[in-house]
Amino acid sequence: MNIFRYAPLAIQLAMIFIVIATAGTLLAYFSILRSRYLGYRQDKRMSYLLPKVDNLIIEEVLTNPEVTETSYSDQLILNTEGFQELPMHKKWVREAITGRIMHFRRNVRGNMGQMLRSLYMQLDLDKDTMKKMKSGKWEKKVQALTEFINMDMSISDVTILPLTNSRNRELRAAARHAYIKLSKNEPFKFFDVVTEPLLMWDQVELFRIISSTEDIAVPNFARWITYSSNKSVVSFCLKLIVHYNQLPAVPAVIKLLDTKDHYLRANAINCLGKLRVPDVEEKLVSLYSSQPLHCQIEILKALGRISSGRYIDFLKQEFLHSTDFDLRKSAAKSLVKNEWIASQVLQELIDTANPENLRILKHCMNPLIKY
Amino acid sequence: MSGILETLGNLYESTLFVYGLVLLIVYALLAFFSMLAIRGYLQKNNDHQLDLLASSPMAPGITILAPAFNEGLTIISNVRSLLTLNYPRYEIVLINDGSTDNTMQLLIDEFKMVVVEYAYNAKIRTQPVKKIYKSTDPAYSSLLVIDKVNGKSKADAVNAGMNIATFNYFVCTDVDCILHKDTLLELIKPVMQEEGKRVIAIGATLRIANSCEFDEGVMTRMRPPRQLLPRFQEVEYIRSFVLGKMGWSYINCVPNVSGGLGLFDKEVAIRSGGYDHSSFGEDMELLTRMCRYAHDNHIDYSIRYIPKTLCWTEAPSTLKIFNRQRTRWSRGLAQLIYAHFGMFMNPRYGKMGLIIFPFNFFFELLAPLIEFTGVVSYIVLAIMGRINWPYAVLLLLFVYTYSVMITTISILWDQLSFRYYKSWKEVLYLCMTPFMEFLLYHPLIVVYSIRGYYYFLTGKKSTWGNMQRQGFGKKK
Amino acid sequence: MFTGINSATMSKILLVEDDEIMPKIVARILPASEYELHHVSNGKEAFEKLDSTNYGYDLIITDIMMPYANGFEILSKVKNRERPIPVIIVSNAGNEDMIMEGFKLGADDFLKKPIIPAELLIRVKRLLMKNK
């Protein structure tokens, strides 16, 4: 103690911090052990519970004779006696069962999927999910929304809509996705109002939701191509147009070629190529010389995909005379895609090409090489 | 005369004091920031997201660049483990850097490879590429092997791979590193979730594979290394990645993405000139140049880290190889600081110039030197009898307990987020290591670092050398 | 034991799947009275099973992305034999390229997860019938 009282400030601080550091280290050990114990206990619980749950689900739901019926009735009462023997009053049990049902639903759909959903409701697990929705923590809300989406439960717009304006980005996105999947009104109205750019990740989730919702009312995406000021929405709609092969949207996409944003223009060209719209070839070729490099590459790719055979000469000229390597390679690839009509031209090029161009041609014609 | 000495002595002491204090505060901040970063990561993530990405047609393509030199022992199992990564759209570009053993032949035989005429635009100059191989079996269609003349550096090999890479992102890894099967999914996800900025590089925690059990390239059990030297390195890696890099990632000030595992934006990497084959720390060097490029071209960028362990690498278990490794690293650091000194405190380079570079200069580069001179002056003063022993011991004790606490906290963060290792005894065993680190391991690092600086100053020729492979064979 | 007569008419099916729930579901869809179902959870075990039974299976159901050996390798090995075994791919892979690869390698059918049980049953029956 004497040392402490007469020591300079630095030493006093040092002594205090030694105590703090030691206490901190001990606390850390305690936390590590505690967390490992809790994890171990959770593992043990799950290894005991999950096989039982799986068996119950399979016995009751999957081997139920109704499964093979062509029509399925929501009214079907399932035998949940087996479940009542489990400690259903404990929250972790119910959570585990919900999780397991979701896992099953990721593997099967159809009648079996519907029965799993009925099971979820008849075990009152949807009430737990609803409670999570009302929680103050955003992660819990997102969890609840994910559960509702997976279980295909309809929720009132009134519950979801306020969340779409939440300050938390993940919650906003989850609410939007839930709305698209579960609401019966105009699911795509978000494309009208969303002002923030859609992240690549948002697009992955959106695409999954949209393409996996079986009876979704697919609008003509041309609406947003023409009127939306949100570039990421436009670019995402282009991808949806390709996925749903929406040919009626093509005129709107063609108009998009006049946009000043060259990234958007490249996306539009890409879309037209994948849709294989032959009428647009002429316009693309006429635009070609004024485009930045990556748009030019997209135009060449599109000509390859459309494969109408009318612009073989153009491709040939680009291949022989362009100074940029990537343009020559893209032109060659498109020529190869047009092989059904251009095989003579290709043979000619092979016979007369210089070593570098010959290499390009051989590369594009080799089925072992993917890109 | 003695007055001047006295003043100098006091000045030195106070500088040392301030230096130490700042370092301690920085570590406390890093501990705090890393906690926030890890918590943010855990909140945003769940397994279903990985499934979603794995099954999405919109997952961006990724190229894996794996340079290999004389890896005959393990090449087949390593390539197999790369072929079974969980990702819908990727290619593996294996660069055989002029191996003198049977690496190439093993590959040709196992994967039925044939020479193809491949057309590509060599945007970065490298040693000549002799041949390019693809497999005739469509099951291995994502594999491409480049056979090139040895460039005496990993940098040259990776550059050759970059020239051929098709996709917009590439993952750089050593072929002897074992990757987690969800590596590509985990690395690309934060890139896709980043708001507002362009992620130009992202890394993940690296760990030591020395006592882990593997079965044909798949990890079956994770265990802290039994030997002392690798165990020190395991603890060091945990502290450096889980506490250090995650903390820096939270404020977007990551100084380096490890060459053992990192995902990079190919366009920025190529435009920055690719890896520098004359550098001894080429991973950090490229990242610095990528940041410069981004600043010069007004790209709002970010470099991130994720706390999950995705890569296991074999650590040197003998002092000789460890010495070589650390000397090389510190030489690379010195080279880097010297070459890019224009960024020091230069507001033009944003966070890189004002925070990262000065931090690296003072607390990474100068640290071993300051420590060394500090120890020497202490000894001198002790001989002269001018040490106040109780105070000296207390200060030392303070630094010791503080470093043990910080290391234990990083192990704690690691355990709380992912319960690695099979038994709690292994964890506690690992926790005992920081106690000896200060006395045994740290002095080694200081000595080797100074050696590295010496070599940098004298320009001694040095080669990459060969890690004596033990191979990831099954433990008997 | 007269199981000999039954096993002559029962079809032997190999299921290669690393998900833990899918095998339980498939076991219910393909009843044990008509189908002898063997399950392995990764590519390495699949090869071991195929080697030990000398490829004596009537049908293989496999996923694509699995540890040790991906589904394409299994496909390739199985299809390059003189008596190729029909293969159904059951995967959640969503991108066209992967599906095309599967068909290029000779897959007979492709089912995307989540599957409709009745559909799997029909396709299995059809392929088995075709091969008899």
Given an 8 Å threshold on Cβ–Cβ distance, is C44 in contact with B80? no
Average pLDDT on A37-58 reads 93
Is residue B469's pLDDT more than 80?
no
CA separation for the pair A68, B78 (Å, rounded): 46
Neighbours of A254 (CB within 10 A): 17
- Is pLDDT above 80 for B172? yes
Q: Name the token pair of B344.
A: 């020091």
Cα–Cα distance for residue pair B81/A184, rounded to 1 Å: 46
> Is the CB of residue B316 less than 8 Å from the CB of residue B325?
yes
Residues of C in Cβ contact (< 8 Å) with A107:
19, 21-22, 25, 113-115
pTM: 0.93
The predicted pLDDT at position A69 comes to 58
pLDDT for residue A67 is more than 60: no
B134–A326: do the CB atoms touch at under 8 Å? no
pLDDT in tens, A252-304: 999 999 999 999 999 999 999 999 999 999 999 999 999 999 999 999 999 99
Q: Are A293 and A327 in contact (CB under 8 A)?
A: yes
Omega of the bond leading into A65 within 30 degrees of 0 (cis): no
**Using one digit for the tens of pLDDT, what is the confidence trace for A81-93?**
888 888 889 999 9
Spatial separation of the C-alpha atoms in residues A239 and B168, rounded to whole Å: 19
Q: How far is A78 from chain C (nearest CA, A)?
A: 18
**Contact of B150 with B97, CB cutoff 8 Å:** yes
Q: What is the least distance, in Å, from the CA of A368 to any CA of chain C?
A: 12
Q: Cα dist. A70→A66, A241, A247, B319, C118 in Å?
A: 9, 33, 34, 71, 10
- Chain segment B391-421, per-residue pLDDT in tens: 888 888 998 999 999 999 999 999 999 989 9
3-state secondary structure of B354: helix
Separation in Å, CA of A69 to nearest CA in chain B = 30
How many Cβ atoms from other residues are within 10 Å of residue C42's Cβ? 19
Q: Does A34 touch chain B (CB under 8 A)?
A: no
Residue B461 has pLDDT above 70, yes or no: no
Q: What CATH number matches the domain at C11-126, 3.40.50.2300, 3.30.450.20, 1.20.58.340, 3.40.50.1100?
A: 3.40.50.2300
Contact flag C119-A62 (C-beta cutoff 8 Å) = no
Closest by CA position to B91, among listed B135, B125, B153: B135
Q: Which of A7, A205, A369 is closest, CB to CB, to B118?
A: A369
Chain B CB contacts of A32 under 8 Å are 411-412, 415-416, 424, 427-428, 431
Backbone dihedral angles phi then psi of residue A75, each to the nearest 5 degrees = -80, -10
Q: pLDDT-derived band of residue A68, with 50, 70 and 90 as boundaries?
A: low
> Measured between alpha carbons, how far is A93 from A125 in angstroms, rounded to an integer?
11
User: Which chain A residues touch C118 with a CB distance below 8 Å?
Assistant: 68, 110-111
Residues 6+ apart with CB under 8 A from A296: A288, A327
Using a CB-CB cut-off of 8 Å, the residues of chain B touching A293 are none
Helix axes B183-193, A200-212, angle to 10 degrees: 110
**Closest CA–CA distance from residue A71 to any residue of chain C (Å):** 13
**What pLDDT, on the 0 to 100 scale, is given for residue A201?**
95
Is pLDDT above 80 for B216? no
Nearest Cα to B275, choosing from B293, B260, B289, B254?
A: B289
**What is the pLDDT confidence band of residue A75, given thresholds at 50, 70 and 90?**
low
pLDDT band of C102, cuts 50, 70, 90? confident
A2-26 per-position pLDDT tens digit: 667 777 887 888 888 899 999 999 9
Nearest to C105 among B51, B138, B181 (CB): B138
Q: Give chain C's mean pLDDT.
A: 86
Residue in C44, C93, C101 closest to B138 by CB: C101
Question: What local confidence, expressed as pLDDT, does residue A188 receive?
Answer: 87
Q: Say if A16 is an interface residue toward chain B (CB within 8 Å).
A: no
pLDDT digits (tens, 9 = 90+) for B115-167: 999 999 999 999 999 999 999 998 899 999 999 999 888 999 999 999 999 99
The mean per-residue pLDDT over the stretch A337-348 comes to 91
Residue C117 distance to chain A (closest CA, Å):
7
Contacts of B116 in chain A (CB under 8 A): 363, 366, 368-369
User: Measured between alpha carbons, how far is A358 from A342 in angstroms, rounded to an integer?
Assistant: 16
Query: Is residue A15 within 8 angstroms of chain B, CB to CB?
Result: yes
Cβ pair A225, A250 in contact under 8 A: no
Asked if C118 lies within 8 A of A111 by C-beta distance, the reply is yes
Amino acid at site C97: D
In the prediction, which pLDDT does C93 show?
78
Distance CA A128, CA A183 (A): 21
Partner residue facing C28 (CB), from A63, A103, A105: A63
Q: How far is residue A355's CA from residue A303's CA, in Å, rounded to a whole number?
A: 25
DSSP B6-42: HHHHHHHHHHHHHHHHHHHHHHHHHHHHHHHHHHHHH
The reply to whether residue A17 touches residue B402, judged by beta carbons under 8 angstroms, is yes
Touching check for C15 and chain A: CB below 8 Å?
no
Cβ-defined contact of C118 to A105 (cutoff 8 Å): no
Q: Which residues of C touch B53 (CB under 8 A)?
A: none
Q: How many CA atoms lie within 13 A of A335 on its CB side?
A: 30
Token output for C58: 């009537």
Q: How far apart are CA B133 and CA B116, in angstroms?
A: 6
Q: Summarize the confidence of residues B31-44 as an average pLDDT.
A: 94
User: Rg of the Cα trace of chain A?
Assistant: 30
Contacts of C94 in chain B (CB under 8 A): 55-57, 88
More confidently predicted of B300 and B46: B300
CB atoms A363 and B121 under 8 Å? no
Q: Decide if the complex's ipTM is over 0.85.
A: yes
List chains touching C (3+ CB pairs under 8 A).
A, B
Most A CBs within 10 Å: which of B168, B412, B418, B435, as the mutation test of the A interface?
Answer: B412
Tell me what the mean pLDDT of segment A92-119 comes to: 91
User: Per-residue confidence at C42, pLDDT binned at 50, 70, 90?
Assistant: confident
Structure tokens at A122: 């008849």
CA nearest A211 in C: which residue? C94
SS3 C37: strand
Mean pLDDT over the full length of chain A:
90
- Mutation pick from C48, C70, C90 vs chain B, by most beta carbons of B within 10 Å, is C70
Chains that touch B (3 or more CB pairs under 8 A): A, C
Confidence of residue B462 (pLDDT cuts 50, 70, 90): low
Residue of chain B whose Cα is closest to the Cα of A31: B412
The answer to whether residue C111 neighbours chain A at the CB level (below 8 Å) is no
Query: Does C39 have pLDDT greater than 90?
Result: yes
3 state SS of B63: strand
Residues 54-73 of A with CB under 8 A from B: none
Radius of gyration, alpha carbons of chain B: 23
Closest partner CB to C67 (pick from B59, B84, B137): B84
* Dist. CA A160–CA A182, nearest whole Å: 10
Would you say B433 and B232 are in contact if contact means Cβ atoms under 8 Å apart? yes
Residue C1 binned pLDDT confidence (cut-offs 50, 70, 90): very low
Contacts of B86 in chain C (CB under 8 A): 65
Among A31, A145, A200, which would you mutate to test the B interface (most chain B Cβ atoms within 10 Å of its Cβ)? A200
Which one of C72, C74, C112 would you mutate to disrupt binding with B, by most B Cβ within 10 Å of its Cβ? C72
Q: Name the percent of chain B lying above pLDDT 90.
A: 75
Long-range contacts of B7-12 (CB under 8 A, 24+ apart): B12/B377
- Quick one: average pLDDT of C105-123? 92
B274: alpha, beta or left, given left = phi > 0 and alpha = psi -120 to 50? left
Kindly state the average pLDDT of the residues B356-383: 91
* CB pair distance less than 8 Å for C92 and B54: yes
A44 band by pLDDT with thresholds 50, 70 and 90: very high
Give the A window 220-259 contacts with B, CB below 8 Å: 239
Say if residue A358 is exposed, middle or buried (CB neighbours under 10 Å; 0-12, 13-18, 19+): middle
Torsion of CA C46, C48, C52, C53, to 10 degrees: 10
pLDDT number for residue B416: 94
What φ, ψ does residue A193 adopt, rounded to 5°? -100, -20
Q: What residue segments make up the domains of chain C, in order of their start?
A: 11-126
Q: What is the pLDDT of residue B470?
A: 40
| Residue closest to B27 by CA, chosen among B353, B220, B236, B248 | B248
* B55: chain C residues, CB-CB within 8 Å: 92-94, 113
The token pair at B349 is 């380079």
Q: What is the structure's pLDDT at B12?
A: 82
d(CA B258, CA B263): 10
3-state secondary structure of B350: helix
Contacts of C98 in chain A (CB under 8 A): none
Number of residues assigned to chain A? 371
Inspect the interface and report whether the beta carbons of C68 and B80 lie closer than 8 Å.
yes
Contact A80, A122 (CB under 8 A): yes
- Residues of B near C (CB-CB distance < 8 A)? 51, 54-57, 59, 80, 83-84, 86-89, 137-141, 181, 216-218
Question: How far off is chain C from B84, nearest CA to CA, in Å?
Answer: 5
- pLDDT for C3: 47
pLDDT of residue B233: 96
Q: Tell how far CA B286 is from the center of its chain.
A: 13
Q: Which two tokens stand for residue A143?
A: 């969890």
Flag whether residue A71 sits within 8 Å of chain C, measured between CB atoms: no
Question: Across chain B, what does the average pLDDT equal?
Answer: 90
At residue B463 the predicted structure's pLDDT band, cuts being 50, 70 and 90, is low
pLDDT digits (tens, 9 = 90+) for A204-231: 999 999 988 877 888 999 999 999 999 9
CB within 8 Å of A24: residues ≥ 6 apart: B405, B408, B409
A341 touches chain B (CB under 8 A): no
